[in-house]
Amino acid sequence: MTEAVAKGETTLLRLACDKFVAAYGRNPVAAAGAPGRVNLIGEHVDYCEGYVLPVALPFLTVVVGAYNNTDECKILSILANGQEATATFPATTASVLKPGAPAWANYVKGVVANFPEKVRGFDVVIVSDVPMGSGVSSSASLEVAFFTFLEALTGTRVEPVKKAELCQKAEHEFPGMPCGIMDQFIVTMGKKDHALLIDCRSLESTHIPMDSNEAVILVVNSNVKHQLTGSEYPQRRAQCQEAAMKLKLPSLRSAHVEDLKELKWLNCDELVCKRATHVVEEIARTVEVAELLPQKAFTEVGQRFYQSHESLSKLMEVSCPELDQLVSIMKSSPGVYGARMTGGGFGGCAIALVKKEYVEDVKKKVQSQYNGKPVFFVCQPSDGARILKLN
């Protein structure tokens, strides 16, 4: 059975510093880290100004570096399998940055370009144990870790909501992914032992305590690589915008169940109606779960997880056979209150709310029945981005 185990901040920081000394022949002077995330509920609603309820994970991207007295930014990225990738681009004091090859460096370049101050040339090393292409937001983790590193390097501090917005803008402009605000927001503002209810319209947020003594969130990676920069995600976003426009609303957040009937009378495209139905109902479920979770009303939370999955699969059409299979296996496992896909979909992870003493049984059942190769971890709600101390 394969478990994903977080290496921990100290180990990742030591690894990054050792690599920096080996690559550049001196010590780094600034360091920062930012986590990955799973979303408990509120899927494909952040770009409709809805409510979302994500959790930051213990998996971390760590960035260390120092100025290099040149006009170039040099990046050395150490991948999880030990492979190394490099990229070099001009400092913003010397040039205006544009997206380009290699594609992975656009996440970093976009952040440098959107940092509120011009940045001089630097050398950095990036290490990360956030699973890539698994729907746990390795991209937002990289963006926010890099932004926080630039804060440490330059001494400029940016207020957290603004920071999340700038990192989201970086992702829109450089990798070209029209994401909502959820990932950058939770990666910036996660808190140990808490989920975060984010109102994606007002950008106000509330930490919701998560007591894992009785029930835990089991995360199962389907190992189907999820890739959101293709056309499906932008299409869903555009369909939701079309529904809001038809209803003459600023976004689907302002829509009510009765408006869904109106969409039909307006002869709205069937797919657009399905997407809008998902969004309106998912926003309501999310607010309910944020209330039910601290009351330990696990059965009721679990019902909403199943409803959310069904809706993502049938109305939003962002699931895949592997995620549907994982949810159905977990649904028939004793001790499971509810299960659903999490994140953007088309692969990535499923989560389940499980009675603590049943976790090992659920894992065994998934291991024996799932057609793919599952990777498991129990979600430990963790802190968001932070500047790290160097010794």
44 binds ligand GAF (CB under 6 A): yes
Contact predicate 208/194, CB 8 Å: yes
CA distance 142 to 13: 15
Name the token pair of 220. Answer: 């199962």
Sign of CA dihedral 119, 121, 122, 123: positive
DSSP conformation class of 174: T
CA distance 165 to 305: 28
62 binds ligand GAF (CB under 6 A): no
174 binds ligand GAF (CB under 6 A): no
Out of 9, 46, 151, 281, the residue judged to bind ligand GAF by CB under 6 A: 46
CA distance 389 to 391: 7
Q: In degrees rounded to 5, what are phi and psi of residue 265?
A: -65, -30
Q: Which is nearer to ligand GAF, 50 or 381 (CB)?
A: 50
Rounded to the nearest whole angstrom, what is the least distance from the CB of residue 64 to ligand GAF in the complex? 26
Q: Is 299 exposed, middle or buried (0-12, 13-18, 19+ CB in 10 A)?
A: exposed
State which of positions 108-147 bind ligand GAF (CB under 6 A): 137
Rounded to the nearest whole angstrom, what is the least distance from the CB of residue 309 to ligand GAF in the complex? 13
343 binds ligand GAF (CB under 6 A): yes
Q: Which stretch binds ligand GAF (CB under 6 A): 40-48, 89-97, 351-359, 361-369?
A: 40-48
State which of positions 177-196 bind ligand GAF (CB under 6 A): 179-180, 182-183
Residue 269 known to be catalytic: no
283 binds ligand GAF (CB under 6 A): no
Rounded to the nearest whole angstrom, what is the least distance from the CB of residue 229 to ligand GAF in the complex? 10
Out of 58, 190, 338, 344, the residue judged to bind ligand GAF by CB under 6 A: 344
Q: Which residue has the tokens 């590193």?
A: 149
CA distance 230 to 244: 23
The active-site residue, picked from 46, 123, 129, 183, is: 183
89 binds ligand GAF (CB under 6 A): no
Rounded to the nearest whole angstrom, what is the least distance from the CB of residue 155 to ligand GAF in the complex? 30
Total interface residues for ligand GAF by CB under 6 A: 13
List the beta strands (DSSP E) in the chain.
Answer: 2-3, 30-39, 51-52, 54-67, 72-78, 84-90, 122-128, 194-199, 205-209, 215-221, 336-341, 349-355, 375-378, 386-387
Residue 377 CB partners (closer than 8 Å, separation 6+) = 3, 4, 5, 6, 218, 219
Residue 356 CB partners (closer than 8 Å, separation 6+) = 212, 213, 214, 215, 216
Contact predicate 360/123, CB 8 Å: no
Rounded to the nearest whole angstrom, what is the least distance from the CB of residue 357 to ligand GAF in the complex? 31
Q: Which stretch binds ligand GAF (CB under 6 A): 41-49, 152-160, 188-196, 253-261?
A: 41-49
Between 235 and 274, how does the x/- string for binding to ligand GAF read (CB under 6 A)? ----------------------------------------
Rounded to the nearest whole angstrom, what is the least distance from the CB of residue 179 to ligand GAF in the complex? 3
305 binds ligand GAF (CB under 6 A): no
List of residues contacting ligand GAF (CB under 6 A): 39, 43-44, 46-47, 137, 179-180, 182-183, 228, 343-344
Which are the catalytic amino acids?
A: 183
